[in-house]
Each structure stands twice: as structure tokens, then as C-alpha cells.
Amino acid sequence: MDDLLYLVHRIPWPPNKGDKIRSHHILRYLTQHYRVHLGTFVDDPDDLVHTAEVEGLCASTCIRPLDSRRARLRALGGLATGAPLTLPWYRDRGLQRWVDDTIERHSISRALIFSSAMSQYLERHPGVVQVTDFVDVDSDKWTQYAATRPWPLSAIYRREGRRLLAYERRQAARSSASLFVSPDEAEAFRERAPESAERIHAMNNGVDHAHFAPDRVPAHNPYPPYSRVMVFSGAMDYWPNVDVVVWFAREVFPEIRVQEPHALFYIVGSRPAPAVTELGRLPGVMVTGFVEDMRAWIGHADLAVAPLRIARGVQNKVLEAMALARPVVASPQALEGLSAQREQEVIEAPAEPAAFARAVLRGLAEGPSERGERARKRVETDYDWARNLARLDGYLQGPVASTAAPSMETT
């Protein structure tokens, strides 16, 4: 097997949130075809228990702690430079030394970078062929944040959007292939980085549909009898998730309860932010925190809701509900990039209180339907990990990109 360097901004284990699900399955695939040398960070102390599993898969590893307070100070110090703040957030001398030593010791000629911030560790190694999995257009996410935050955060986020886009373009120019989570996301980046358009590709996410299968849902129903349950699942310290459950619980759910007095809204996911915990005081709203098996909570719900107002890429929460054949009511932002047929496989509704409430009530009234079965078939067809990841080898064995790159001042 050839040696391959894999740089990931967050340890790809366990697969319990969006980016980690993707990086986890990529790692498992790569270890079947390469001797993988993994450089990564641990930003959640709970993930430290998984380092032995990761080390057992890889030829070598460098797993560095990432303290958010120190990272924030490094990032704010970067305001004096022209670089995006994302870079100093993930800058680590120990990881840089390991990368340099690993490339020299194992004569590594190819690397897969997961998240553009990790590309900084290869800036002194221009001879290494790089494939970058950007996943989403992160720069646009910061621009979206800027539109919803007060000054001075709006100014900082707007700056980050501009600076990060310039860096993303430079990295795409250095990469033999730039990968994104959906055709829509790839096309959005082609528009922003036309000089690299021919090397920008979509590589769909996947779902472990053997695990997320209706017949694998635990028998125990965690919900009260005779209730009508809608569920939102995800990491509940992630700001777009916080934003949307606060909006749904306060603006949409009361309208639903008028028509469905037994309706319950369950917010299921780890590390709920204070604003999310506070929602548990509202009638019919339940906040669970971490759960052992998400399948029970999605699989026994009447429907899943995903009324995201800020989103990029593909939402795993939607794919998992589809795999479990649950009715899904989602905003256009949450469905962006998904090949699911609207109405036939999922219900799309605008993130506007009255309209979204009507769509949820319609989904509750319909109950189990063929829509859920069609949604599962869509997952099996378009979101199979093995089929989608099979494209990686072709990208990793592709030609070296040009070293020419646009200026950091690109807007």
C-alpha cells in the first residue's frame, strides 16, 4: 500500500455530527487502500476515549488537543494580519513538526486535506499532491452569519467571509481536485473560483442505511403514549441549530399546538446551549441532551423537522430521517444540495412561521405514507457511502495542480 497523509480539523471519531460523519467514513475507506498517516485535533474532551480506535486504523497519528479559549485568542490576534482568522485557530507547532517529519520519513507524495484550514500545514511542501475536501463553502457560511449578527460581530464575520474565500481560492488552485458535499455546493464554489472550475467536483455524503434502517430502530419508544412528536436532531451547541430550534419553538410550535394539543417538540442532541436548555420551560418542548442511539428518537417520532435558516451543504439530520423512512418537513436551505424529490419524498416549506406550521400539520395528518418509503429508496440510490467514496482514488491519483494562485486580496 502507498502512504497517504490525511489532515482533518477534528478527530474523525465517533461519527456523531455532520463533518465527523463524513471524515469518519473517509478514514475507514482510506485505510482499506493506503497506509494512512493522520494528523488531527481533539476539541471535545469526550472524544479522547476514541484515540486508541483511530490509532489502531492508521500507520501513524498525531492527535493534538485544541483548547477553544486559546484558539480564540490566537484567532483574534490574527485581526492584525491579512489572513482569515480560521488559520490561527487551527495553527499548532507540534502538528507542523509532525507533518514535516512524516512527509520526509515516509516519502509521502500525496495528501488528502479535510477542511481548507488544514492546508496550511502543507504550504512548505509544494511537491505533495493535494486533494482538498472543502465539504462546504465555509466562506459563504461566515457571510451568512454576518447578515444575522450585530456589530462588531457582523464586521468580523464579513471580513472572515472575504478573507477565507481568498484563501479557499488559493488552496483550490494548489489542489489537483477540490471536493464538495453536493453538486449545488460544487457549482457555488465554481462561481466563486472560476480559475479552478475544471478541478472542482461533487462527492455526495452518504448514510449508513444498513444502520439507519426502519427494522433496526430500537423497540423501546422514548416518547409518551398518545403524543404527536416532531423531532429535531443535531449538535445543539452549533449556532445554526440553536438559531432554528429557538425560532421553531417560539414562533412555529405554538401555532401547531393550537391544532394538535398533544403535539410535542423534542430537541435531541449533545451539548445544548443555554438558549436551547431554556426552551425546555415552554409547554410541549423537551430538550434531551446527549442520547445513546439517535435511531430510537428519530424512528419513533411522527416526523422530523429541519427548518434551518442558515445552512450550507447537505444536512445529515435530513438524510438519517429519510433513511429511517420518517416524514421530513424542511426548509429550502435544509434541502439544498439534496436530490430528494419535493413532495414525493420530503415536504418543503419556507422558514416562515405560519407556512411551516401548516406543512407540519399536513405531515402529522398524513401520518405514515409512501413518502417515507420513497425517501429511503432515494437514500439507498444516491447516498451510499461505498459508491460515493469509490471516486476518491481517481482524485488522489490525479495530476498535480498549477502552483499559480489568486491573491489573498481576492474579493
Nearest to 391 by CA among 202, 207, 200, 208: 202
pLDDT surpassing 90 at residue 193 = yes
pLDDT surpassing 50 at residue 165 = yes
On whether both 146 and 65 belong to a single domain, the answer is: yes
On whether both 193 and 311 belong to a single domain, the answer is: no
Residue 409 lies in a domain: no
On whether both 379 and 390 belong to a single domain, the answer is: no
Mean pLDDT of 298-325: 94
Mean pLDDT of 253-279: 97
On whether both 127 and 169 belong to a single domain, the answer is: yes
Percentage, residues of the chain above pLDDT 90: 91
**CA-to-CA distance for 182 and 136, rounded, in angstroms?**
8
Question: Each residue of 123-161: b (16+ CB within 10 Å) or e?
Answer: eebeebbbbbbbbbbbbbbbbbbbeeeeeeeeebbbebb
Residue 122 lies in a domain: yes
pLDDT surpassing 90 at residue 311 = no
On whether both 180 and 235 belong to a single domain, the answer is: no
Amino acid 312: pLDDT: 76
Amino acid 401: pLDDT: 53
pLDDT surpassing 80 at residue 411 = no
On whether both 138 and 235 belong to a single domain, the answer is: no
CATH number of domain containing 301: 3.40.50.2000
Amino acid 367: pLDDT: 81
pLDDT surpassing 90 at residue 407 = no
Amino acid 256: pLDDT: 98
Amino acid 346: pLDDT: 97
Number of other residues whose CB lies within 10 A of the CB of residue 113: 27
Amino acid 18: pLDDT: 84
On whether both 92 and 195 belong to a single domain, the answer is: yes
pLDDT surpassing 80 at residue 405 = no
On whether both 193 and 239 belong to a single domain, the answer is: no
Residue 407 lies in a domain: no
**CA-to-CA distance for 40 and 66, rounded, in angstroms?**
10
Nearest to 383 by CA among 241, 205, 193, 232: 205
Amino acid 368: pLDDT: 79
* Domain that residue 85 falls in: 2-206+386-396
pLDDT surpassing 60 at residue 226 = yes
C-alpha cell at 384: 451510499
Mean pLDDT of 218-237: 96
Number of domains into which the chain is organized: 2
Amino acid 369: pLDDT: 81
pLDDT surpassing 50 at residue 209 = yes
Residue 405 lies in a domain: no
On whether both 20 and 156 belong to a single domain, the answer is: yes
Residue 406 lies in a domain: no
Residue 201 lies in a domain: yes
On whether both 249 and 158 belong to a single domain, the answer is: no
pLDDT surpassing 60 at residue 335 = yes
On whether both 69 and 35 belong to a single domain, the answer is: yes
**H/E element, 371:** helix 370-382
pLDDT, averaged across the chain = 94
Say if residues 175 and 131 touch (Cβ distance below 8 Å): yes
pLDDT surpassing 90 at residue 318 = yes
Per-residue pLDDT tens digits for 94-115: 999 999 999 999 999 999 999 9
**CA-to-CA distance for 253 and 303, rounded, in angstroms?**
14
pLDDT surpassing 80 at residue 321 = yes
Mean pLDDT of 41-64: 96
Residue 297 lies in a domain: yes
**CA-to-CA distance for 58 and 233, rounded, in angstroms?**
31
Mean pLDDT of 211-216: 96
Residue 50 lies in a domain: yes
The pTM of the full predicted model, rounded to 2 decimals, is 0.90
On whether both 260 and 313 belong to a single domain, the answer is: yes
DSSP string computed for 96-119: HHHHHHHHHHHT--EEEEESGGGG
Percentage, residues of the chain above pLDDT 70: 97
pLDDT surpassing 70 at residue 406 = no
By three-state DSSP, how is residue 216 classified?
A: helix
